Structure 1
Amino acid sequence: MAKLSENQAGPSPQGEFRRGWPLLLSVVLGVGLGLSPLPFYSIGMLAPELAKEFGWSFASIMLGLPVATVAVMIVGPIIGWLGDRIGVRPVAIASLVLFAFVFMAFSLTNGALPLFYLNWALMGAVGAGTLPTTWTRAVNNGFEVNKGLALGVALMGTGVFGFLIKPFLMWMIEAHGWRAAYLVTGALPLIIALPVALLAFKDPGARRVHTLHAPLPGLTLGEAARDPRFWLIAGGFLLFSFAIAGPLPNLENLLKLKGFTKAEIVSLAPVVGLSVIAGRVAGGWLVDRFWAPGVALVLLCLPAVGCLIMHGQDPTFGGALTAIALVGMAAGMEFDLLAFLIARYFGARAYSTLYGCLYCAYAAGSGLGPVAFGADFDATGGYQTSLLIATALLVLGGLVLLPLGRYRFAAEHAVEEARIEAAAGERAAVPGA
């Protein structure tokens, strides 16, 4: 019997990363300079400037996040459907360009809140294609043995740029003002992410569909929507995204209320980005080796401890550092956990559509969380109530995922399917076979 090639025997871990590193790099930059991190991590630095310039409250400024969320919830499923129909490459690249220009348009803010919110809505609509909905489909199709780790590495761009954007914005604001900060930050996707995406972002699954003329394995949207596991995932992500997203944009103000100096806040805030990177890689490595819902519950209990630390009176610098790191690590696992769960429970057939729909639950929670925290501050002058609510929702969100049960599309299943397809392709190439 002839020796099986790598494609026939299933992908090796080393071979996957050796072939796939250009794809991973394009996703790191595309996601990291897209709709998910840039508005979210920048608003905490820019909100005080907008409040000072126009007299807006923090809650009214943070309301931009759920406005964008509503737009994403409307457009997201359409983006996913387009990714499944015409491919994720054109969708992601077009969205990256449009998102950059709309983000730069915030530099023209004139004090009219309705126009401010309109810009947020437009950014959410045109930037929805820069979310992991599109980028992770290619990673899922290009990696199997180390799918979780590959997703963690690919999506650590949110942590990398979450870490870099805060000190960068502080320098830009102090040196050139908040309008220049919006303008230059919005140009980063065009300067950095777009050239790499044009060269390296390609979906291996699209090649397979075209060459084999067969759909990828998995459930359709209708089949998945009739599966209780679809709604368990949606419910879990709604709960813990609210709890994780709530404190992060309000972090600088929260630390100020806890008595930290400006210099201490500057040194603490970037820890979020570093811990997001750690959460991405550690979470991805863990779900490749252990049952993902169990991993999620354990990792979600950590930021619950972090919220309790910040709820206490006058935490130490070390305590605040620990709390921020714990919340950041949980924020680091959300996107890749969702991508992994979709791949393992519903397969690749309607992956982008399913991600777009389930992302709506995540977006709803992450959009409402910062507003709830901001409203708590406006009403009470602090965040004590919202921190306690976040603690409970983190644990509850993890518990909701436990009934998901065994994977439907395990790695062994996908490797065996690849072997069968490769053998069938060889037989088809032999005349008379």
Structure 2
Amino acid sequence: MRGIYFGWYVVAASILIYALLLGSTFVAFGLYVVPVSEEFGLSRADINTGLIVLNLGNALLAPIIGRLLDRMSARRLMMTCAVLTGVSLAIISQSQSLALDSGLLALLVPAGVLGGGTISVSVLLARWFTVYRGRAMALAALGMSLGGILGAPIIGMLIESGGWRSAVLVSGLTSSVIVFALAFFMRDHPGPQDVEVRGPQTQGATEQPAVADKPADANEPMPAGAPPGALTFLRMPLFWMLAAGIGLGSGISQGLTVSLVPIGLDAGLSTMQAASLVSVTGVTGLVSMLALATWGDRPNRTVLLSLVILSITVSCGLLLVAKSFVALLVTAGIVGLSLAVLAPVYIALIADRFGLSAFGTVRGLFVPIMSLFGAVSVRFIGEIFDRTGGYHLGLWTYLALAVFAALVVLLTLPRKTAA
């Protein structure tokens, strides 16, 4: 009788790592805007520049971290980056220099978050799961939501009780220590004794190794020189088709998310009603993650991703006509579903399509592309409102682009060869 497959321990650790690293950095950023601006006498726009710097650093360093994960032990990189996260946040908590803070936000903090969790975790999950890769990715992604649901209130209480510097120090060091400990017990690859068991939903339970290309030592990286380089993938039409479709879908979802509250206010909702639209996106995001964890490995992932992107057209159509609170709540729910499901499905898909030997490289290449689409989309929808006084032109554009993106992804379906 076999024990619990070690990959599920990786999933459990991944949920906590996502929640800690994202909760103490990206999610918590808004909580520091007011106290930091008051201490340094800065405008809100100046403070928000810090988040832009953090996102830029994240986009620029992701390909480097991804490549490192294909060439060295993910476990060792995670431990190193966990320490990096704690040290950089500790320095920020004591710093009086905005230039130093900006440098840390541009380099050390994103390197720590990427290497300590966001890319490393997805690489490990892809290595440990073949049969239930979609389920594993979806369950781990719950940590992204939990970072906001649980982490934000805790950091808020820390700010109220001891100030923002104390909150940064405590949250940074706590996250660093816990992530380091979890990474210490990680294993880079399944060993010969690790067998992923197919569940009872199929006739006759079967077993298969998690991956076919396991090294002898589960804590050692793949052999040097084995992973293909970034240029190999950048020359592939498949890479650019998936990047375009996924990037457009993600960017449109981000643009809709930041526009929900303004559209609600323009429709006559109160501030609290408009704010509740954001809460609904979080709730439906969690529910959709759980549904994906249950059924996400059954449908073809390319078709599933195409349908998720196509669902964005429903949100766009509803926002063009919805005026009531209930209609906008339904719209917010669909936006939350598409935004939450998109990430774990596309991560599992690129592992399927590009393989595991260079998954870190491919995963890292997708991050700056997604960041670029998101930045352009958010800017675009804002410019449309400023120039036309409404969102209709932007929503029609989003609707057309979502259909295009879904078709592009669908066109990447592998062709069946004649027997």
Shared fold per TM-score greater than 0.5: yes
Report the secondary structure of 1:289's partner residue: coil
Partner in structure 2 of residue 85 of structure 1:
71
- Identify the match of residue 289 of structure 1 among 263, 284, 298: 298
Partner in structure 2 of residue 197 of structure 1:
183
**Residues 156, 67 of structure 1: alpha-carbon distance in 2 compared, 3 angstrom cutoff:** same
**Residues 328, 313 of structure 1: alpha-carbon distance in 2 compared, 3 angstrom cutoff:** closer
Report the secondary structure of 1:323's partner residue: helix
The one-letter code sitting in structure 2 at the alignment partner of 1:121 is: A
**Residues 386, 16 of structure 1: alpha-carbon distance in 2 compared, 3 angstrom cutoff:** farther
Q: Give the Cα separation in 1 of the matches to 2:333 and 2:310.
A: 13
Partner in structure 1 of residue 105 of structure 2:
120
Q: Is the 8 A contact 1:41 1:162 kept in 2?
A: yes
**Residues 264, 104 of structure 1: alpha-carbon distance in 2 compared, 3 angstrom cutoff:** farther
**Residues 67, 138 of structure 1: alpha-carbon distance in 2 compared, 3 angstrom cutoff:** same
Return the TM-score normalized by structure 1.
0.73
Deviation at 1:179, TM superposition (A): 4.9
- Identify the match of residue 331 of structure 2 among 312, 315, 323: 323
Q: Is the 8 A contact 1:167 1:270 kept in 2?
A: no
- Identify the match of residue 132 of structure 2 among 139, 146, 154: 146
Question: For 1:176-196, what per-residue CA distance to the aligned partner results, in whole angstroms no more than 9, with x for missing partners?
Answer: 655555445434523544433
Deviation at 1:21, TM superposition (A): 2.2
- Identify the match of residue 17 of structure 2 among 24, 30, 35: 30
Deviation at 1:24, TM superposition (A): 0.8
Q: Is the 8 A contact 1:272 1:325 kept in 2?
A: yes
Higher relative contact order at CA 8 Å, sep ≥6: structure 1 or structure 2? 1
**Residues 339, 206 of structure 1: alpha-carbon distance in 2 compared, 3 angstrom cutoff:** farther
Partner in structure 2 of residue 354 of structure 1:
362
Over the residues paired in the alignment, what is the CA RMSD in angstroms? 4.0
Structure 1 stretches lacking a partner, 5+ long: 1-5, 7-14, 409-433
| Residues 1:155 and 2:141 aligned together | yes
Return the TM-score normalized by structure 2.
0.75
Q: Give the Cα separation in 1 of the matches to 2:142 and 2:269.
A: 28
Q: Is the 8 A contact 2:288 2:340 kept in 1?
A: yes
**Residues 399, 68 of structure 1: alpha-carbon distance in 2 compared, 3 angstrom cutoff:** farther
The one-letter code sitting in structure 2 at the alignment partner of 1:56 is: S
Q: Give the Cα separation in 2 of the matches to 1:135 and 1:304.
A: 31
| Residues 1:299 and 2:333 aligned together | no
Q: Is the 8 A contact 1:293 1:401 kept in 2?
A: yes
| Residues 1:237 and 2:246 aligned together | yes
Q: Which structure has more helix as a fraction of its residues?
A: 1
Q: What count of residue pairs does the alignment treat as equivalent?
A: 389
Question: For 1:372-399, what per-residue CA distance to the aligned partner results, in whole angstroms no more than 9, with x for missing partners?
Answer: 5666778888766655554444443322
Q: Give the Cα separation in 1 of the matches to 2:191 and 2:64.
A: 18
Report the secondary structure of 2:21's partner residue: coil
Q: Is the 8 A contact 2:75 2:187 kept in 1?
A: yes
| Residues 1:279 and 2:285 aligned together | no
Deviation at 1:56, TM superposition (A): 2.7
Counterparts of 1:9-408 in structure 2, within 5 Å, are 18-35=5-22, 39-47=25-33, 54=41, 56-58=43-45, 61-103=47-89, 117-122=102-107, 123-168=109-154, 178-190=164-176, 192-199=178-185, 201-205=186-190, 208-211=214-217, 220-221=228-229, 222-248=231-257, 260-261=269-270, 263-264=272-273, 267-310=276-319, 314-316=323-325, 318-370=326-378, 389-406=397-414
Q: Is the 8 A contact 1:273 1:328 kept in 2?
A: yes
**Residues 29, 265 of structure 1: alpha-carbon distance in 2 compared, 3 angstrom cutoff:** farther
The one-letter code sitting in structure 1 at the alignment partner of 2:349 is: L
